[in-house]
């Protein structure tokens, strides 16, 4: 599978000649964002592919790595998946995930080996490069309005598909009407041969990650809302995969998702109307509620879990202990301490804003109508 150059060039041209696209209008803010994007993105893609090709020469052993019983955390955006991933990721004995720098800067073994070699040299001189990276990390990611983002934290490896230019994330850089539909309905939209090629690329990146870290006992864990419409494709590649599906009431979810998407779009573009894609987001979230549950119900119960977001975020340690018991994992003393710390933090935490659908002009009774099939499948969401 190769980088989708034609699609990329089409969107590059469309960026500078947006026509009547209200979200792509060419303001000074949009030009500034494009200038940064077209400097950073090609660099990451080109160096990434060079590294991946070098792996085929120097680190072909990654192909022998078996990905056993990976864990996929899925569900709509803004449904608590990051909290679950970040806590589980702190148990290094049982889980391993790709971190931000590994996804965007070093998907290959070759790149990581090179970076680690540079860091060793840097350490000999008092680590000036590492300290600068720490400053950049703090300065550039502190204002991201979704969850704490850091170069060193686990992140959504859906971004690996950017190396193919075949990801839902493209929609955030190019807010074009209907661009998201194929990716939002992945298992139903793409031909089987194309899905297999894309997912095989993803699997090779996971194998590289496990090969580099040589964690023989650790389970690969992936947290990706954008994997929610990919359940069938994941299972074809990883038949023994395990899933956790998180669901949150549409009354709160729609506004929270729209606020996050609005932040992404206004970072890269200058939309004339923040509600331009409201109907698209409604359609996406409805599919992401209904499709995964239908697909997961065909699996043995020991391969999937359904978490009520509203109960999970109140007492996540209960769900985590239950998960460990189900899979026969032992909770170490150090991880037990992390769970106690989490319990104390949540007891003291107060949400700055409870999202409501009315934030975007949709009253609660309208939500009941729009998502009536969702409430029928998940009746407990009506009483939240």
Longest CA span, the chain: 64
CATH number of 5-313+350-383: 3.40.50.300
User: d(Cα 382, Cα 119) in Å, to the nearest integer?
Assistant: 52
CB 18 within 8 A of CB 25: yes
- In the chain, where the domains are located: 5-313+350-383
Chain mean position to CA 324: 23
The pLDDT profile of the chain, 384 residues, written as one tens digit per residue, is: 689 999 999 999 999 998 888 888 899 999 999 999 999 999 999 999 999 999 999 999 999 999 999 999 999 999 999 999 999 999 999 999 999 999 999 999 999 999 999 988 978 888 887 777 777 666 554 444 445 678 889 999 999 999 999 999 999 999 998 899 999 999 999 999 999 999 999 999 999 999 999 766 799 999 999 999 999 999 999 999 999 999 999 999 999 999 999 888 988 888 877 788 999 999 999 999 999 999 999 999 999 999 999 999 999 999 999 999 999 999 999 999 999 988 888 866 555 556 667 777 788 889 999 999 999 999 999 877
DSSP state of 189: H
The phi, psi pair for 323, rounded to 5°, reads -65, -45
DSSP letter, residue 168: T
Residue 341 structure tokens:
């710390």
d(CA 275, CA 139): 30
């Amino acid at each position: 599978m190769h980088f989708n150059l034609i699609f990329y060039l089409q969107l590059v041209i469309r960026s500078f000649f947006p026509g009547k696209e209200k979200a792509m209008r060419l303001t000074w803010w949009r030009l500034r964002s494009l200038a940064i994007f077209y400097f950073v993105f090609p660099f990451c893609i080109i160096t990434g592919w060079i590294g991946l090709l070098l792996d085929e020469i120097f680190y072909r052993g990654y192909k022998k790595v078996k990905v056993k019983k990976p864990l996929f955390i899925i569900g709509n955006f803004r449904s608590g998946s990051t909290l679950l991933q970040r806590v589980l990721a702190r148990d290094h004995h049982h889980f391993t995930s790709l971190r931000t720098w590994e996804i965007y800067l070093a998907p290959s073994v070759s790149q990581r080996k090179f970076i680690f070699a540079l860091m060793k040299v840097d350490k000999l001189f008092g680590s000036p490069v590492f300290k600068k990276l720490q400053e950049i990390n703090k300065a550039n990611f502190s204002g991201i309005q979704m969850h704490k983002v850091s170069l060193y934290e686990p992140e959504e490896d859906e971004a690996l598909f950017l190396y193919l230019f075949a990801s839902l994330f493209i929609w955030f850089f190019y807010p074009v009407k209907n661009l998201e539909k194929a990716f939002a309905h992945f298992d139903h939209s793409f031909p089987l041969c194309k899905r297999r090629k894309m997912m095989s690329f993803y699997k090779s990146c996971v194998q590289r990650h496990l090969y580099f870290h040589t964690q023989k006992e650790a389970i690969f864990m992936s947290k990706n809302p954008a994997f929610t419409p990919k359940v069938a494709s994941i299972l074809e590649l990883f038949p023994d995969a395990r899933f956790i599906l998180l669901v949150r009431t549409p009354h709160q979810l729609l506004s929270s998702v729209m606020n996050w998407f609005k932040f992404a779009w206004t970072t890269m573009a200058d939309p004339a109307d923040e509600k331009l894609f409201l109907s698209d987001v409604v359609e996406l979230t409805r599919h992401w509620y209904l499709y995964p549950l239908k697909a997961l119900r065909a699996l043995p119960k020991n391969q999937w879990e359904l978490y009520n977001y509203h109960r999970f975020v109140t007492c996540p340690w209960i769900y985590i202990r239950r998960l460990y018991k189900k899979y026969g994992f032992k909770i170490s003393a150090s991880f037990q301490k992390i769970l106690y710390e989490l319990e104390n933090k949540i007891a003291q935490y107060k949400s700055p804003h409870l999202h409501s659908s009315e934030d975007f002009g949709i009253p609660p009774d309208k939500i009941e109508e729009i998502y009536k099939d969702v409430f029928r499948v998940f009746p407990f969401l009506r009483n939240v």
